[in-house]
Amino acid sequence: MKNLKKRLKQGETLHGCWLNLGSAVTAEIVGRAGFDWVLIDLEHGAGEEKDVMSQLQALEHSNTAALVRVESAAGQRIHRVLDMGAEGIMCPHINNGREAAMVAKGLHYPPAGTRGVAKMVRATGFGQHFAEYYASATENILGIVQIETAQALDHLDEIAAVPNIDVLFIGPADLSMDLGIFGQFDHPRFKDALRATVNAAQKAGKATGILFFNPDDYTTYHQLGIRFIGCGADATFVADGSRAMAARMQAMRSTHNAGKP
């Protein structure tokens, strides 16, 4: 475990990005880049549950913590990726405290939660370190819920108050869509939603997170009090790099061909 939960409680700003290609190779490359965390995306990513294990293995010897976004708050989805060794879970579209509590319960063994007990899994060293894992799981496993709807904005305080929910993570695309202002991140309603989420999280001693794709937005969000910051994804890095190289080579070809009949 790489102490994300402890570092957030100490007030650190933690940087990360998405892994949505389902590739162990890109997971290893990005894991060596210097991020504090990466998030394997099972909601919208190209990979499936069977691809998570190899990505977690690729990240194991990096300094980057491996989180997984599951498709829903269903316990079996959460339990399975935790058993594989995920250090935290993100759950999308959480609308109220009851739904947040379902996520929190799925993260932990009884009596704190409802996670099933299995010793022979990767998270426990296939049985070699179960006692240590069990003793430290509550203080190490990060619980992240996404604020993506107008309904969630009406229940921010109760969501933030749920024990073992550590980060209220704003999904800008979905939230702006639900507010009827898709992509208008400078709109007053969107800014009000950001401030309300940060305020609710801070009152409860929790962190706020967000994902964006333009690094120039960093200062704006950091000044609002957002400390769990994601920017970019492995697919974006590949797409941007390949397009930039192709454009550069096309420009060079045009230069070398200039003046030829």
Active site residues: 44
CA distances from 107 to 57, 76, 80, 122, 251 (A): 21, 10, 10, 16, 52
Q: What 3-state DSSP class applies to 96? A: coil
- Within a 13 Å sphere around the CA of 94, how many CA atoms are in the beta-carbon half? 35
Residues 6+ apart with CB under 8 A from 106: 73, 74, 75, 78, 79, 89, 113, 114, 115
Residues 42/69, Cβ–Cβ less than 8 Å = yes
Residues 227/207, Cβ–Cβ less than 8 Å = yes
Pairing status of strand 228-233 against strand 14-19? parallel
Distance, CA of 115 to chain centre? 21
CA distances from 244 to 23, 217, 234 (A): 22, 21, 15
Residues 177/170, Cβ–Cβ less than 8 Å = no
In three-state form (DSSP H/G/I as H, E/B as E, the rest C), the secondary structure along 233-244 is: EHHHHHHHHHHH
